[in-house]
Amino acid sequence: MCGVFGIFGHPEAANMAYLGLHALQHRGQESAGIVSSDGERLFGHRAMGRVQSGFSPTDLATLPGDRAIGHVRYSTAGGSHLKNAQPLGVDYARGSLAVAHNGNLTNHEALRDRLEARGSIYQTASDTESIVHLIAMSKKEELRDRIAEALTQVEGAYSLLFLTERELIAVRDPRAIRPLCLGEMASGSGVTHVVASESTAFDLIGARKVRDVAPGEMLIISADGVRSEFPFAQEPRKLCIFEHVYFARPDSTIQGVSVYEVRKAFGRRLAAEQPVEPGDDLVVIPVPDSGVPAAIGFADRARAPFEMGLIRSHYVGRTFIEPQQSIRHFGVRLKLNPNRAVIEGKRVVVIDDSIVRGTTSRKIVKMIRDAGAREVHVRISSPPTRWPCYYGIDTPTRSELIASSHSVDEISSYLTADSVGYLSLEGLVESVRSLEARAGDASGARPSAESYCHACFSGSYPIPFTPAAPNRQLRMVSG
């Protein structure tokens, strides 16, 4: 999972991109990069780690111009190297080009083999580089046509930003699997156009969200304004529903719907589907931060008090000194600590967004019991995660997903919980669909139950693919 940000027509474009990436930091902490243009040349800076540590005022001063694109990367399969950081920048026969990508190309291995056989030399392990090679090989005159021709040869998920000396081009794949939205802000006597993975990036810089980029839409942003084209064959929309479950920030909107409200709706539906016997000794607590909105919804529907029974530390760094045996569950305790004052003597319902391997959930249950809880009931505001994602989210192999090989009762036993309950797939989809239908969109279209990708829960993949062999998967890095 990654985040992209683009801006055109602002005198401090690089600084605005820095702030936009900061607002998208939750989408990737492994590396960050910005490429700017002054209308004649491209200038770039990329760094490992988070945005704040990778960009100093001196670094930003080397990025002149009134247009820029930026990228934050989430660690995926492949090496953690600066060469894989984006935006990727290249010089080719028709000028300079930079590209930032959120998503994953499912036919990357076949593409790479074909392109290497034709003489392409790869500098990175990124699937995004295949798009650059395809653009460079195109015989089309206009860049937008070269991009369109290149993208007709790729399969998978992509929200892409391209920057040249003269224009910024944004493209969303025909199934709209990954989010992308358009915004604008006043700048002097003109209008500054911005594009980002999530609307929360607009809030920080004082821009307003105009709309979501449509499935298969290409936006060409230049000094003449914004032009919209639809160069691809129409496909059924398949928005990743896990964006609503976990990845998107709760203060973002996707397709006109507040992510925060969606997560509360998950919690209310979960309380209806997987209730816990009421009583004065019942308390609902979230696993912070992603479990908070769902826990609020659950508590509201269950008529039980919502409490912060787990306190999250906001100062956990990437490295620390870990005792080998002196403190059990040390890693989890670095992030979470039970609040005994609200847990002791209570029957606790603990709400989380998902269970992956189950190891962390088991430690959390143990901590809650050690804090004096009489009962611990685990409730998950999504269905069991049984299948890996091949569209840009770094999930473990299927054998590592506890729900792929264990029943709910077996998971409950492993977690040492009194009970475990998941939100149903029907409840998940309907919660999002009903809110999105109520909000509507500019086209008047209404989503159906088939408008979302939920392959990680159902195994129903919207794009055919052949998983890479393990030895080949290691060399591939998603955008």
Q: Rounded CA gap, 17 and 318, in Å?
A: 24
212: its two tokens: 């979501």
Q: Rounded CA gap, 72 and 67, in Å?
A: 18
352 appears as a binding residue in the annotation: yes
Q: How many CB atoms lie within 10 A of CB 29?
A: 16
CA-based torsion, 156, 26, 217, 115: positive or negative:
negative
165: its two tokens: 């000396």
Question: Among candidates 163, 120, 138, 107, which has minimal Cα distance to 390?
Answer: 107
What is the residue type of 340? R
User: Does 181 participate in catalysis according to the annotation?
Assistant: no
* 259-273 and 292-302 helices, crossing angle to 10°: 40
Tell me which H or E stretch contains 470. helix 470-473
Distances 412 to 331, 376, 458 between C-alpha atoms, Å: 22, 10, 21
Give me the catalytic one of 2, 72, 196, 262: 2
84: its two tokens: 């894989």
456 appears as a binding residue in the annotation: yes
Tell me which H or E stretch contains 46. strand 42-48
353 appears as a binding residue in the annotation: yes
279: its two tokens: 């009583």
181 appears as a binding residue in the annotation: no
Question: Among candidates 392, 472, 397, 468, which has minimal Cα distance to 76?
Answer: 392
| Feature table: binding site for Mg(2+) | 290, 352-353
Q: Which residues are annotated as a binding site for [4Fe-4S] cluster?
A: 240, 389, 453, 456
Binding-site residue numbers are: 240, 290, 352-353, 389, 453, 456
Provide the annotated active-site residues: 2
